[in-house]
Each structure stands twice: as structure tokens, then as C-alpha cells.
């Protein structure tokens, strides 16, 4: 059986780091098994769903290298949910209720005060035809709940958490349809999973109780549930759920010039027993993807880890992959010279400004100016101009170490440190190098 996974975001905002991780793991599972990765846009809420977010979700997935094998939109499938709902209604698995949010909140408070779990008391099941007629006469429309079967425990073998068992009597019958006819998450998601042939669902552990309910929905619709895996939630470096993580998405990463490969490398293994490493080869990450390595402890997201991985990956990037992001005129030789000193690709602009000039020089001592004047005269061009220059100056002046190298670097770049001068000097060129040495010498 072909593995088919899905990522099902609601287009009510931009993707953030938590749901990027969810998308990635579903994509990796499909990739590893030669299966399919589907995108489902959960846009049944017309007031909050925006087309601009749908477009952004597609663009962000593409930027990260996750290309869905197909897409469905819930707003185009409403008739499918109506059909499933009518079948459940005919079989007595849904029922009408009328409590307001305030009334339900009061009921929960009373139950908690009595030391009971705050679950729905099924008062809607006690209503008679006359009660429903009276509500209709008052112009009050019902909302609908799915009736859980209390006779059998709900069980499944979770891909991350292992065997799971729920007593359905400890769960509220979930509201699946609002009084205005609009849908909540539970039933449309189950209908879609059935009709899209979804075989595996990886999602956050905050969905565990939803899964328990949906397992019965699948059964009520005569379908086998997908395999479920519930990952530990992503938390900030302080170890708590962070509101900041909810706003940290691809836009924020792009603004900081974070490579998509760095995000993938970090999130692929965050929360697993495998080491988080700067692995640019996505195929290598996919090869080692294994749900058995996922831990139960919250996965900590730290910007410092992402920046460390990003820096390491920038040092691996070849010229062709970054050429269109580099300053005009910057060639492969310059990229290789500058790359080891970069934390982000955009940092190349600062170093290229050193090459193209002008540069600001420090104050040199009289002794150093004389040394630089000699350097300007000694400079010769060949396969290794830096090596030839420093070797000749060492012999002629007796200088070594910092005294030999630092004044030359300062005169040529205006900096105290930076790229390897053996690689950078050929990029500067003989004319520019000599002119800068002469200027520094005064």
C-alpha cells in the first residue's frame, strides 16, 4: 500500500515554525517510503480564511523544498461533508443541542466544583420532538454533536507514543457542526482522510484526544483509520510554549537570511535522538528519518542552533547556488575567498564592498608606513602573490606573525581580520593591491 501523508493548514495566517515541522515530517515520511505528500487547505471558516495565506502557504512550502503531490481545498468539498453528515444522522450518530457558550461554561464549572471531569452531559439526547419543535418556533437552530460509543475502549498504536487507550465515557461528544451550518474541524478532516486515501497522519500531541474521537468517526463511516503519530510539541529555549514561536515563520527566516536547508536540517531532527547537524543533503536526512527516534519530551527550538547550522551550511554552498544573490561583479573566485567568513549569504555584500572600495584605513605608525612602502615595491604577481609577498617581506624586514601580516591586511582591506588573504589578494588584483599599499604608506 502506497504511503500517503498530508499537511492540513488553515489559511488564517502564515506558517510558523511549529507547523513547518509538522509539514516536514509528513513530507519526509512520504519521501522515505516512495509515497505521496498531499496538501489540504482547511478553509471551511470563510470569515478567517484568506486567499493570500493560501498563496503564502504554497510559496513557503516550495521555498523549503516540499512540493505536494496534490492539493485539496475543504471549501470545495462541502457537499462531501453534507453527505457524510446525513449518513451519520440516519444511523443515529449525531444529535441536536442548543446550549450557548455561556451555559456550557457554567456546566463545566459546576462539574469541576463537584470533582467531576468537565465533559458534556449529553443533555441534548434527552430532548423530545416537542422540545425541538419549540426551539424551532423560537427561531433557535441547533448545533450538532457526534455521539461517541461508550461500549468499547478506543485504542490505536501510536507511531510515537506507542499503544493508546481511551475510555470514550471520559470524552465529550464533540460539536461537529455549528448552528449556522458551518463545520468544525473533526468530521471534515476524517471525511477528507478517507476520500484522499491518507494512510499516515503525523501531528502534535495536543491532537491526541481529537484522534481518539476521530477513530470512532472512521469506524462510524465504515473506514479504517490512518496510522497516527503524535509528536511532542515545540517549545522555546526556555522550555515553555512560546507565543514567539507562533510568529516565527518563513518570512522571519528570510528576513534574517536563513537558508531553507538550515531550517530543514534543524527541524528534521529536533526532538529526536539523532544529532542535529548541518546536513545540506535532504536525501540523507530522509534516509535516517525514523519515528522510533522521536522522544516524548518537548522539543526545544533555539535561534542559536539555527544560526549555527545556517553558518555551517553557508560554508558549503557552491557558487552556482548563490550566484543570483551575490553583488554584481562578484565571481566564483571571490565567493570562495569570502565564504568561510560568512554567517549568511547576504554578508557577502559587506565583504564585496571591501574589494570594490573605498576602504577606511587605520592610523599607521611611521615604522608600519615604511614597511608598507616596501611592501608596495616588493609586490609581484604570480600564482601565489600573497605567499610571495609575505615570504619576501619576512626575509627583508625580519618581521613575523602579527607584525608581518596585520599591517598588510589593514592596508589592503581596512580590517583587522577577515577572509584568507591568500585567496582574497588575487580577487583584489595587482593594481588595486599596489594602490592601497601605496596609499597606506602615505
Alpha helices in 270-365 (DSSP H): 282-287, 303-314, 319-322, 332-338, 348-356
Q: Domain for residue 200, yes or no?
A: no
279 assigned to some structural domain = yes
3-state SS, residue 171: coil
- Which CATH number goes with the domain that contains 304? 1.10.1160.10
DSSP 294: B
Tens-binned pLDDT, residue by residue, of the chain (442 aa): 899 999 999 999 999 999 999 999 999 999 999 999 999 999 999 889 999 999 999 999 999 999 999 999 999 999 999 999 999 999 999 999 999 999 999 999 999 999 999 999 999 999 999 999 999 999 999 999 999 999 999 999 999 999 999 999 999 999 999 999 999 999 999 999 999 999 999 999 999 999 999 999 999 999 999 999 999 999 988 777 677 787 789 999 999 999 999 999 999 999 999 999 999 999 999 999 999 999 999 999 999 999 999 999 999 999 999 999 999 999 999 999 999 999 999 999 999 999 999 999 999 999 999 999 999 999 999 999 999 999 999 999 999 999 999 999 999 999 999 999 999 999 999 999 999 999 999 8
Pairing of strands 175-177, 234-236: unpaired
In a domain, 210, yes or no: no
Inside any domain, residue 422: yes
The domain in which residue 411 lies consists of 366-441
Element housing 425 (H / E): helix 421-428
Can you tell me whether residue 39 is helix, strand or coil?
Answer: strand
The CATH number for 425's domain is 1.10.10.350
Q: How many domains does the chain divide into?
A: 3
Same domain, 306 and 323: no
CA angle, 29 then 310 then 261, to 5°: 30
In a domain, 327, yes or no: yes
Asked if 241 and 309 sit in the same domain, the reply is: yes
Could you tell me if residue 81 is inside a domain? no
Kindly state whether residue 306 falls inside one of the protein's structural domains. Answer: yes
Looking at the fold, whether 278 and 301 belong to one and the same domain comes out as yes
Q: 529536533: which residue's cell?
A: 270
Pick the closest to residue 250 from 237, 236, 264, 239 (CA basis): 264
**191 upstream amide cis, omega within 30 of 0:** no
The contacts of residue 43 (CB under 8 Å, 6+ apart) are 10, 11, 49, 54, 73, 74, 75
Cα angle 302, 304, 309; round to 5 = 105
Q: State yes or no: 243 annotated in a binding site.
A: yes
Which CA distances in Å does 387 have to 170, 382, 424?
77, 10, 12
Whether 432 is in a domain gets the answer yes
Do residues 241 and 305 share a domain? yes
Q: Residue 370 class from Cβ within 10 Å (0-12 exposed, 13-18 middle, 19+ buried)?
A: middle
Same domain? For 242 and 306 the reply is yes
Does 300 lie in the same domain as 331?
A: no
Handedness of CA 197, 203, 207, 212 (dihedral sign): positive
Do 294 and 240 lie in a common domain? yes
Show which of 356, 377, 406 is a domain's final residue.
356
Q: How far is CA 190 from CA 27, 187, 194, in A?
A: 20, 5, 6
Amino acid at each position: 500500500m502506497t504511503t500517503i501523508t498530508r499537511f492540513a493548514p488553515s489559511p488564517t495566517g502564515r506558517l510558523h515554525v511549529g507547523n513547518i515541522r509538522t509539514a516536514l515530517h509528513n513530507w519526509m515520511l512520504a519521501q522515505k517510503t516512495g509515497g505521496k505528500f498531499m496538501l489540504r487547505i482547511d478553509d471551511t471558516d470563510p470569515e478567517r480564511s484568506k486567499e493570500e495565506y493560501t498563496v503564502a502557504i504554497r510559496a513557503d512550502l516550495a521555498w523549503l523544498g516540499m512540493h505536494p503531490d496534490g492539493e485539496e481545498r475543504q471549501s470545495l468539498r462541502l457537499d462531501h461533508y453534507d453527505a457524510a453528515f446525513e449518513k451519520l444522522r440516519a444511523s443515529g450518530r449525531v444529535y441536536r443541542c442548543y446550549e450557548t457558550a455561556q451555559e456550557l461554561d457554567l456546566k463545566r464549572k459546576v462539574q469541576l466544583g463537584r470533582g467531576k471531569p468537565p465533559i458534556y452531559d449529553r443533555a441534548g439526547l434527552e430532548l423530545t420532538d416537542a422540545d425541538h419543535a419549540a426551539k424551532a418556533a423560537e427561531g433557535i437552530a441547533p448545533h450538532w454533536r457526534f455521539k461517541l460509543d461508550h461500549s468499547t475502549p478506543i485504542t490505536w498504536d501510536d507511531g510515537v507514543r506507542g499503544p493508546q487507550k481511551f475510555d470514550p465515557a471520559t470524552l465529550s461528544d464533540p460539536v461537529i457542526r455549528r448552528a449556522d451550518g458551518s463545520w468544525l474541524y473533526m468530521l471534515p478532516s476524517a471525511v477528507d482522510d478517507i476520500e484522499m486515501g491518507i494512510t499516515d497522519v503525523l501531528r502534535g500531541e495536543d491532537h491526541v484526544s481529537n484522534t481518539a474521537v476521530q477513530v470512532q468517526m472512521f469506524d462510524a463511516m465504515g473506514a479504517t483509520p490512518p496510522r497516527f503519530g503524535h509528536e511532542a510539541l515545540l517549545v522555546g529555549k526556555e522550555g515553555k510554549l512560546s507565543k514567539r514561536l507562533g510568529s516565527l515563520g518563513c518570512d522571519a527566516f528570510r528576513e534574517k537570511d536563513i537558508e531553507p536547508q538550515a531550517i530543514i536540517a534543524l527541524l528534521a531532527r529536533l526532538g529526536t535522538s539523532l544529532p542535529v547537524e548541518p546536513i545540506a543533503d535532504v536525501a540523507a536526512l530522509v534516509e535516517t528519518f525514523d519515528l522510533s527516534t522521536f522522544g516524548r519530551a518537548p522539543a526545544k527550538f533555539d535561534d542559536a542552533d539555527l544560526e549555527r547550522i545556517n553558518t555551517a551550511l553557508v560554508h558549503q554552498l557552491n557558487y552556482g547556488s548563490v550566484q543570483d544573490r551575490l553583488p554584481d561583479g562578484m565571481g566564483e573566485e571571490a565567493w570562495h575567498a569570502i565564504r568561510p567568513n560568512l554567517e549568511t549569504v547576504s554578508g557577502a555584500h559587506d565583504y564585496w564592498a571591501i574589494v570594490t572600495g573605498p576602504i577606511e584605513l587605520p592610523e599607521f605608525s611611521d615604522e608600519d608606513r615604511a614597511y608598507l612602502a616596501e611592501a608596495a615595491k616588493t609586490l609581484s604577481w604570480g600564482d601565489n602573490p600573497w605567499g610571495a609577498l609575505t615570504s619576501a617581506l619576512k626575509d627583508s624586514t625580519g618581521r613575523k606573525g602579527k607584525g608581518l601580516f596585520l599591517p598588510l591586511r589593514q592596508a589592503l582591506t581596512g580590517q583587522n581580520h577577515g577572509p584568507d588573504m591568500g585567496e582574497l589578494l588575487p580577487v583584489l588584483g595587482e593594481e588595486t593591491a599596489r594602490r592601497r599599499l601605496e596609499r597606506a604608506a602615505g
